[in-house]
Amino acid sequence: MSTAVTTGRRLAPQAGEVIDRRAPLSFRWDGKTYTGFVGDTIVSALVASGVDVFSRSFKYKRPRGVLSATFHDPGCTVQVGDEPNVRAAHRRLAAGMEVSPENVWPSLKFDVGAANQLLGRFLSSGFYYKTFIKPQRLWPAYQQILGRFAAGGVTAADAEHGYFDKRYIHVDVCVAGGGPAGMAAAVAAAESGASVLLVDEEYELGGHLRYGGDADLAALAELRAEVAVHESIEVMTNAAVTGRYDMNWIAVVQRQPGISVQGHAIHERLCKVRAGSLVVAAGLIERPYVFAGNDLPGVMLSTAVRRLVNLHAVRPGDNAVVFTANADGDACAQDLRRIGVGVTVVDARTDANIRRAEGGKRVKTVELADGRRVDCDLLVTAVGWTAATPLLNMAGDRPQYDATAARFFPTDRLAANVVVAGALAGDGSTSELVAHGAAAGATAAARAGHGSEVPAPALARVPHPELYRSTTHGIVDFSEDVSSKDMFSAKKEGYDSIELVKRYTTVTMGPSQGKLESANAVAIMAEAHGVSDFNEIGTTVWRPPYVPITLGALGGRGFENTRFSPMQPWHEQHNAKPLVAGDWIRPEHYGDPAAEVANVRRSVGIIDVTPLGKLDLRGPDVPKLLNLLYVNKWSRLPIGAVRYGVMCAEDGVVMDDGVTGRLGENHYIMTTTSSGAATVWEWTENWLQTEHPDWQIHVTPVTTGYASMNVAGPKSRELLGRVVSGVDLANDAFPYMHVRTATVADIAGCFMWRIGFTGELSYEIHVPAAYGLHVWEALFDAGFDLGVVPFGVEAQRIMRLEKGHFIVAQDTDGLTLGFGADLGWCIKLDKDDFAGKPELVWQSRRDDYQRLVGMQPVDPTIVPAEASQIVEGTKKIVGRVTSSRMSPTLGRSICLGFVEPRLATPGTIVTCQLPDRRRVPLKVIEGLAHFDPDGARMRI
């Protein structure tokens, strides 16, 4: 292999390199132009160009360089264009990238010693709590200064809109981790006949084999080829399993999945996976060593060095000290020698150790435990591994520490549908890991119903020195700038459990979420407590998500319905103001709701009431159902008649109201409120399926099967006479509260009923939905000379308030029982049974509940805000305003609301407190209706 250095720190071609030297890319970093290759990460391209420092640390503002050269590298978070918090040691370089440092106040190049002197002694654990909590009046000043310290990038107000998506995946086996064991597991599961999703965090499969030697690369090529021949394996790279939930509901976040929706590239996709089995082959994460200066740029993990050298052909330094406790550290030293770097090995297995590193913007000298000082610009540590157990935690396991192997291992508490593969279970050669993975894959497939289980060959637990902290204090959590000294102080201050120390010092709570630092945190806690068994300290429990997910991916693409009536195109042409009402978009008004009211009261108007819930009820037992659901009586409803009914829940609270009409011997149509349509249907089915399966009734929801329109006003009969055939509209032939089937504008199969929500003569017409727009337009054509105009929801609300008709959930709430809503006239306690009957019986014997009353402000120009309180004195609330409007018909303000029973007598003056604290008198009126209390106008 060549040892020549080419330009800058870029090496001659390496056997396993992933860069494409024929494809150079130009990009900008901190205001200057740099060049890298396709396949470079942002960081590898910058290191190749001699850049050492990528950020300033969270609290102490110390310069930070490469530590792990992975997604989780705490010092390599940057801003790319208007995208904050990009993991630069992971994100692949793209042409023209505008990359800038984050969190670099005062600046990336500011003198290090100065920053540390300035900040270091102030920022111990709990400093914010202790120092800034008092006096409170100074908080705004503190906030301004502290704001400068805040981590993270910037979001631009004019940032480009991001596009995100979701995907649902059903597989037999999901494999988390695409190293040798994961790949082998996927292949074995596929060979058993299972469908497989193989997920890896990196851009390519292979895990640690990718940056290994020739034998590793050969094994990798073989495994990749085996994965590729199985069509039942879906490989998803640059993706991470972020959570495992009950019954293997698995969240996978897929970054830059290379798909687009409507011409927009998808930034991230959240995949929701249901898997029969989950194979956890997440492997090991190399952990840093705690010593003074361990966060200096130039102090790197052995795996970081091997990634830079072997994947990106970058020379990470010229003179290295390699502190190694294992074979991977030895391999790293070999790699460095191969590319011509001077190497001093400090072998932990011979009890040699390092004490501290010194330097400014880069490490310069390492002091060894024996007092020797070695000059270098690269200090490599290989002190052991953190088992990547988060997914096992989420599956119920609590891994146990093994002092001999110096890491945590899974126990047998795992759910049966989760199988561990590879290095998480023990140490082994590549072929041993592959064999272990294959057995795990076959077992996982068997547990998902394919083939039979294969016992996993045991993997050894190779002895490893327990190396966590040297004799000096250093950084434990690189994201949060928490040192071992901070953790010792926390112990002294009385924080004795790992969970408390975590919250107090914020150790393991930063963006890397403990992946690099949790084992060190536990070890240092154990040291502070003087205990040798880490299991006495315990670990903090890893929870989802394993890696950060953007809010965009979580929000994704919405799947909510939006519903429109068939008349929506007409509404849009006539400038209707849209109103969002649950799933529905409805016209709130067409410009002037007061004029719409006046027009209905004077001549005729039409409102689209399609969202009204409609249930078609058929069968001989329908009256039994109506008697059970409604508080009033239904046994003798004649064919052709319509009745108003109120439903209460089993707790006696008003639930819904509407009219039900009888169209034939065994045929009824029930209407519900627009918002209650789904609830009432479920309620109806609940009674029929669980209490009375013997009743002969069939319920069909027909809400969207009919377009519904209410033709209201004194001229409505005249208008309908021009378009309706087959029905005598005369008042005595088709009286108030009756229903007829009719042909309207040549459309047969319509039904219409005379009801009076607005208080006017009115007909509600229900038309087969496909003909809704046709009938609607025909009505306007026919009524042009009568002055017909459309009216919206707001005009209807005003008119029903003038009439004193309450709206469920507007004028009632979750505590309003039937009698409180002035429904005594229709609650029939002599019925054997109905929903909520016991509560209403008991309520009828009490007198302590607030009453719904009509109220009018004494000053007719004041319209109290809805939800204004009715008060007595300064401390007592005795009621509230539930509906309030200016009445165009009466020329005064009108209200509905609740008051205590002693204030419900007509003529009582109550006090209403407005939101601006003004108090105004309201007068309680007789009944609820402000206008036409006898209902004469509805019956003409």
Partner 1 sequence: MIQVPCPWCGPRNSMEFRAVGESKSRPDVSTTTPEQWRHYLYTKSNLADWVTETWYHRAGCRRYFAVERHTVTNDIRESRLPAAQLRRQSDSGS
User: At 856, which amino acid appears?
Assistant: Q
Smaller CB separation from partner 1, 351 or 833: 833
Number of H helices, E strands in the chain: 23, 49
Smaller CB separation from partner 1, 204 or 583: 583
Encoding tokens for residue 632? 């009033």
Beta strand pairing call for 196-199 and 233-236? parallel
Smaller CB separation from partner 1, 536 or 691: 691
**Following DSSP, what letter does each residue of 542-574 receive, concatenated?**
P-S-SS---HHHHH-S-----B--TTHHHHHHT
Smaller CB separation from partner 1, 142 or 245: 245
Count of positions on this chain that bind partner 1 (CB under 8 A):
23
* 917 close to 881: Cβ distance less than 8 angstroms: no
Give residue 905's Cα distance to chain centre. Answer: 50
Among 158, 246, 830, 916, the residue binding partner 1 under the rule CB under 8 A is: 246
Distance, CA of 711 to CA of 764 (rounded, Å): 6
In the shown chain, the binding pattern of residues 285 to 314 toward partner 1, with x for contact by CB under 8 A and - for none, equals ------------------------------
Distance, CA of 779 to CA of 752 (rounded, Å): 14
Q: How far is the CB of 847 from partner 1 (least distance, A)?
A: 17
Rg (CA), the chain: 37
Would you count residue 842 as binding partner 1 (CB under 8 A)? yes
Which segments of 793-908 are extended strands (E)? 851-857, 869-872, 876-887, 892-899
Q: How far is the CB of 833 from partner 1 (least distance, A)?
A: 5
Would you count residue 128 as binding partner 1 (CB under 8 A)? no
Which one of the spans 141-149, 213-221, 245-253, 663-671 is the region binding partner 1 (CB under 8 A)?
245-253
Would you count residue 413 as binding partner 1 (CB under 8 A)? no
Would you count residue 245 as binding partner 1 (CB under 8 A)? yes
* 762 close to 738: Cβ distance less than 8 angstroms: no
Would you count residue 837 as binding partner 1 (CB under 8 A)? yes
Beta strand pairing call for 385-387 and 789-790? unpaired
Q: How far is the CB of 251 from partner 1 (least distance, A)?
A: 10
Which one of the spans 241-249, 324-332, 369-377, 659-667 is the region binding partner 1 (CB under 8 A)?
241-249
Would you count residue 848 as binding partner 1 (CB under 8 A)? no
Would you count residue 833 as binding partner 1 (CB under 8 A)? yes
Q: How far is the CB of 299 from partner 1 (least distance, A)?
A: 43
Would you count residue 412 as binding partner 1 (CB under 8 A)? no
Give residue 520's Cα distance to chain centre. Answer: 32
If we measure between CA atoms, which residue out of 532, 517, 448 comes closest to residue 482? 517
In the shown chain, the binding pattern of residues 250 to 279 toward partner 1, with x for contact by CB under 8 A and - for none, equals ------------------------x-----
Q: Which residues contact 118 (CB under 8 A, 6 or more apart)?
A: none
∠ CA 428-431-436, nearest 5°, is: 70
Q: How far is the CB of 719 from partner 1 (least distance, A)?
A: 39
Which one of the spans 60-68, 194-202, 538-546, 831-839 is the region binding partner 1 (CB under 8 A)?
831-839
Smaller CB separation from partner 1, 332 or 395: 395
Q: How far is the CB of 610 from partner 1 (least distance, A)?
A: 22
* 362 close to 301: Cβ distance less than 8 angstroms: no
Q: How far is the CB of 628 from partner 1 (least distance, A)?
A: 11
Would you count residue 689 as binding partner 1 (CB under 8 A)? yes
Q: How far is the CB of 819 from partner 1 (least distance, A)?
A: 16
Q: How far is the CB of 282 from partner 1 (least distance, A)?
A: 22
Would you count residue 685 as binding partner 1 (CB under 8 A)? yes
∠ CA 150-153-156, nearest 5°, is: 120
**Following DSSP, what letter does each residue of 296-340 receive, concatenated?**
STTEEEHHHHHIIIIIT-B---SEEEEEESSHHHHHHHHHHHHTT
Distance, CA of 330 to CA of 327 (rounded, Å): 5
What are the backbone angles phi and psi of residue 738, rounded to the nearest 5°?
-130, 165
If we measure between CA atoms, which residue out of 616, 652, 546 comes closest to residue 252? 546
Smaller CB separation from partner 1, 218 or 829: 829
Would you count residue 690 as binding partner 1 (CB under 8 A)? yes
In the shown chain, the binding pattern of residues 756 to 795 toward partner 1, with x for contact by CB under 8 A and - for none, equals ----------------------------------------
Q: How far is the CB of 273 from partner 1 (least distance, A)?
A: 11
In the shown chain, the binding pattern of residues 644 to 683 toward partner 1, with x for contact by CB under 8 A and - for none, equals ------xx--------------------------x---x-
Smaller CB separation from partner 1, 636 or 845: 845
User: At 255, which amino acid appears?
Assistant: R
Which one of the spans 47-55, 233-241, 246-254, 791-799 is the region binding partner 1 (CB under 8 A)?
246-254
Smaller CB separation from partner 1, 246 or 412: 246
Q: How far is the CB of 250 from partner 1 (least distance, A)?
A: 10
Among 214, 691, 781, 859, the residue binding partner 1 under the rule CB under 8 A is: 691
Angle between helices 793-803 and 593-602 (to 10 degrees): 60
Encoding tokens for residue 671? 């209407």
Q: How far apart are the first and last CA of the chain?
A: 103
∠ CA 257-263-265, nearest 5°, is: 25
* 195 close to 216: Cβ distance less than 8 angstroms: no
In the shown chain, the binding pattern of residues 5 to 44 toward partner 1, with x for contact by CB under 8 A and - for none, equals ----------------------------------------
Distance, CA of 355 to CA of 353 (rounded, Å): 7
Greatest CA separation found in the chain?
113
Among 249, 375, 543, 877, the residue binding partner 1 under the rule CB under 8 A is: 249
Distance, CA of 525 to CA of 491 (rounded, Å): 8
Smaller CB separation from partner 1, 558 or 693: 693
Partners of residue 274 on adjacent β-strands: 170, 249
Smaller CB separation from partner 1, 140 or 693: 693
Distance, CA of 314 to CA of 34 (rounded, Å): 15
Smaller CB separation from partner 1, 246 or 785: 246
Would you count residue 694 as binding partner 1 (CB under 8 A)? yes
CB atoms within 10 A of CB 598: 16
Which one of the spans 387-395, 665-673, 790-798, 835-843 is the region binding partner 1 (CB under 8 A)?
835-843
Q: How far is the CB of 669 from partner 1 (least distance, A)?
A: 19
* 300 close to 324: Cβ distance less than 8 angstroms: no
Q: Which residues bind partner 1 (CB under 8 A)?
A: 245-247, 249, 274, 650-651, 678, 682, 685-686, 689-694, 832-833, 837-839, 842
